[in-house]
A and B are shown apart, each in its own frame.
Chain A
Amino acid sequence: MKALRIVLWALVALSIVAIGFLLLRQSQPMPGRTVPTQVNFGGPFTLVGTDGKAFGSAELAGKPYAIFFGFTHCPDVCPTTLSRMVRLRKQLAAGDEPFRIVFVSVDPERDHPKELASYVSLFGSPVVGLTGSDAQVAQVKKQFGIFSEKVPDESGGYTVDHTATVLLFDRNGKFVSTISPEENDSAALDKLKRIIA
């Protein structure tokens, strides 16, 4: 009886591995398919654009993108990261917008479309600014593996701790790699070249 149970459990384990393997194969991008597919990070989402209208992930399809999560009241890390991405994009010298830079607010409470619009316009190069309801932002954070947490500051307001990493996706919406603030420019440029290739 005990032996039978062991055999059955082994079969269960084997089936799980087999299903996992099949799912993994299925999620490889298929030719002609441009809708983002959920591999590690990403997947379909809906947020709100700087024009106040719904922004679906399908609008990102067909072009690689670099996505960064932050907030407009972040005076140091966020402008530094966005400036760097804008500069690296220019350094690639591969046309005006070889990949999109997407900035998603993790502070939808303060970042309404209007605030976000004037913030992203500061960078003198196209940056897609996205915000949304608390629930929408929470869902997208989950899909992209993003951490964020409000922290009270010394003047009665708050700051937000958040993932500092930029995530890179190819034109099929497939997650490719990341760029961290500590990484040097040449390593970052190599990764960007890969997503635009």
Chain B
Amino acid sequence: MHIAVTFVALLLAACSAGGSPKIAATDGWTREVAPGQTSAAAYVTISNQGDGADSLIAAESSVAAKATLHSSSSAGGIARMRPIEGGLEIPPHATVAFKPGGNHIMLTGLQQPLKAGQAVDLSLQFEKSGRQAIALRVLPATSEDSHMHGMAM
């Protein structure tokens, strides 16, 4: 039994080591901020069509002094926001969506006010796939997702 488990584990490890990730970042957006507000949360959808796992390890944007991977939770009725330590794994054949109230990229030290209708740059650093650039659409503060609810287009 023990041997069988070890064998399966080795097999799985071999499989994941063999494949390479195929990362695509889409649907990037952030919110308009008020004058004087120095931080904003950015959201993005990351898909991995490849056979190997990858990890999102860092981010940067020319509009912010810093871009940090963060996670919000409201477990136990308390809203908390914490950095994601050690990167975020993007498993093979999976899609990881950053969403309000969950994972987000925290832009701090905004160099310029973000106005609805603008597009700002974001660069995502993956452990294996390297850098991926994506444009973030700046949506009105009332946006709850990237689909612009109730917006007169």
Encoded as 1 (CB less than 8 Å from any B CB) or 0, chain A from 92 to 118 comes to 000000000000000000000011001
B74: contacting residue among A115, A123, A164, CB under 8 A: A164
Task: Report the bound CA distance from A75 to B114 in whole Å.
Answer: 12
Q: Which residue of A114, A115, A121, A153 has the most chain B CB atoms within 10 A of its CB atom?
A: A153
Residue contact A77 to B79, C-beta cutoff 8 Å:
yes
Q: Quick one: which of A101-153 are within 8 Å of B by CB?
A: 114-115, 118-119, 121-125, 147, 151, 153
Residue contact B79 to A154, C-beta cutoff 8 Å:
no
Task: Report the bound CA distance from A141 to B41 in whole Å.
Answer: 26
Known contacts A73-B37, A155-B108; is-contact A86 B142 (Cβ 8 Å): yes
The interface size of chain B toward A, counting residues with CB under 8 Å, comes to: 37
Residue contact A76 to B140, C-beta cutoff 8 Å:
no
Known contacts A83-B142, A87-B142; is-contact A118 B74 (Cβ 8 Å): no
Residue contact B34 to A180, C-beta cutoff 8 Å:
no
A77: contacting residue among B32, B101, B140, B141, CB under 8 A: B101
Contacts of B66 in A (CB 8 A): 155
Task: Report the bound CA distance from A162 to B79 in whole Å.
Answer: 5
Stretch at the interface among B13-21, B118-126, B129-137, B143-151: B143-151
Contacts of B83 in A (CB 8 A): 153-154
B39: contacting residue among A73, A121, A154, A180, CB under 8 A: A73
Encoded as 1 (CB less than 8 Å from any B CB) or 0, chain A from 16 to 49 comes to 0000000000000000000000000000000000
Residue contact A164 to B100, C-beta cutoff 8 Å:
no
Residue contact B144 to A118, C-beta cutoff 8 Å:
no
20 contacts between A and B (CB under 8 A): A72-B37, A75-B37, A75-B39, A75-B41, A80-B101, A83-B143, A87-B149, A118-B37, A119-B34, A123-B142, A154-B83, A157-B108, A161-B80, A162-B79, A163-B77, A164-B77, A164-B78, A180-B77, A181-B74, A181-B79
Given contacts A75-B41, A115-B36, could you give 19 more A-B pairs where the C-beta distance is less than 8 Å?
A74-B79, A75-B31, A75-B106, A75-B107, A76-B70, A76-B72, A76-B81, A77-B74, A77-B79, A79-B41, A83-B143, A83-B144, A115-B34, A121-B34, A122-B33, A163-B78, A164-B77, A164-B79, A165-B77
